[in-house]
């Protein structure tokens, strides 16, 4: 058994839900904890966590990561300053 202190507005909301669902407050809390656990322990991959961000700010140039060394060499060659 666990005893917790919650804000009074939470208690009022719990009572309302319990009354509307015709169940006890303990059952409401248990269901809420089950939902929390199912979301918390859901096996999310790095891809699914960042899926909405991938490609969001893409350059439209799909070969940038493949040709980066070549582009750096070209930039260095073009910007080289020869001083005597």
pLDDT of the residue at 68: 80
Which sequence spans correspond to the domains of the chain?
Answer: 8-79
pTM greater than the 0.75 cutoff = no
Instruction: List, for residues 7-28, the tens digit of each pLDDT value.
Output: 999 999 999 999 999 999 999 9
Q: What is the spatial distance between Cα 73 and Cα 84, in angstroms, rounded to a whole number?
A: 23
Query: Quick one: which H or E segment has residue 15?
Result: helix 8-21
Tokens 């409401």 belong to 28
Q: What is the spatial distance between Cα 66 and Cα 70, in angstroms, rounded to a whole number?
A: 9
Using DSSP's 3-state secondary structure scheme, residue 72 falls into helix
**Among 61, 58, 57, which Cα is nearest to 71's?**
61
**Over pLDDT 70: what percentage of the chain?**
87
């Amino acid at each position: 058994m666990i005893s917790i202190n919650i804000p009074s507005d939470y208690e009022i909301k719990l009572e309302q839900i319990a009354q509307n669902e015709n169940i006890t407050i303990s059952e409401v809390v248990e269901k809420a904890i089950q939902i929390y656990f199912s979301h918390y322990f859901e096996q999310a991959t790095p891809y699914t966590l960042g899926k909405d961000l991938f490609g969001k700010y893409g350059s439209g140039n799909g070969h940038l990561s493949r040709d980066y060394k070549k582009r750096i060499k070209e930039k260095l060659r073009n910007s080289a300053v020869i001083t005597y």
